[in-house]
Amino acid sequence: MKFAALLPLVAAAAAVPCTPKYPTTTIAGIEVVDTQLVRDALSLIKNSGLNDYVVKHQIRSWLFGAQQLNNNATLKSIVDPEAQAVTILLHDLGWDMSPDSPWTTKEARFEVDSANGARNFVRNHPDGKKWSERKVQQMWDAIALQGAYGLASYKEPLVWGSIQGIAVDYQGAGVFGINQTIVDQVIAEFPNDDLLTGTNETFKWFCETKPETTYDTWVEGWGTYFVKGYDATGHRQIDQFRTVF
């Protein structure tokens, strides 16, 4: 765990009551929460227009996030595992490239599309309706800030506790308490051989089809390097200052 997250963890442990007890099951050797809300979130992404690589990425990220809770009793006492599961499972709804996507818009960054889609799912689910508005907001924040860990690490435990699971799927063993044995057993069941290629193609697609949502963001580089005719000049904050100084 990064040092930036230690102080919020200590403070939250003292301030937040123990999380609810949920039924559990085992997937890829990892104990995970098993509620109807989580099962429905999992079913949603499996039966959506999302590419298979995105679905596997979200499932692996969830498993890594769950294992982080299993590894740390203090963290598990302050991060609601059901909320973490739903957050991670739905964090890339905005990667749906199908023409009739119920989540992807032309106007919003993919992080916002994903966060809005997850919020709508929870608010319209019989069990999700029982969530407090604070929990729903923290889920939204975690998804919207998934590419900005430097900011998210100062947010509530559910926020950075969800993003850490996502990070492991790209960074691999050795981060946030996940060892190579865990990574290997998850990848054996949900292969990651298409993760980087799929991510690259998706980010290129954002830059090609909705470039206005990528300018001055961390996705901009994909347009600059891979998309012919893409030019962020004039759309960035720095460009406003360059006309003056």
**How far, CA to CA in Å, does 206 sit from each of 117, 147, 227, 239?**
17, 15, 10, 22
40 token code pair: 């429905």
Confidence of residue 18 (pLDDT cuts 50, 70, 90): low
| Contact predicate 87/118, CB 8 Å | yes
Which of these, 153, 237, 174, 187, lies nearest to 61 by C-alpha position?
187
108-117 pLDDT, tens per residue?
999 999 999 9
Query: What residues are paired with 181 via a beta bridge?
Result: none
Report which DSSP code applies to 83. Answer: H
> Does residue 221 have a pLDDT over 60?
yes
Taking the C-alpha atoms of residue 83 and residue 136, their distance in angstroms, rounded to an integer, is: 8
Where are any strands of DSSP class E within 13-152? 24-27, 30-33
Query: What's the pLDDT at 3?
Result: 37
Confidence bin at 92 (pLDDT 50/70/90): very high
Tokens of 222: 């994909």
What the block records as the tokens of 23 is: 């039924």
Q: Give the Cα separation of 59 and 67 in Å (integer).
A: 12
Taking residue 192's Cβ as centre, other Cβ atoms within 10 Å add up to 17
Q: Give yes or no for a contact between 222 and 213, defined as CB atoms under 8 angstroms apart.
A: no
Percent of residues, the chain, with pLDDT higher than 70: 93
For 34, 61, 115, 219, the CA distances from 213, given in Å and listed in that order, are: 36, 25, 15, 9
| DSSP notation for 57-103 | HHHHHHHHHHHHHHH-HHHHHHS-HHHHHHHHHTTTGGG--STT-SS
pLDDT, tens only, 130-181: 999 999 999 999 999 999 989 999 999 999 999 999 999 999 998 788 999 9
Where are any strands of DSSP class E within the chain?
24-27, 30-33
Shortest CA distance to 114 belongs to which of 134, 135, 138, 142?
A: 142
Write the single-letter amino acid at 201. Answer: E
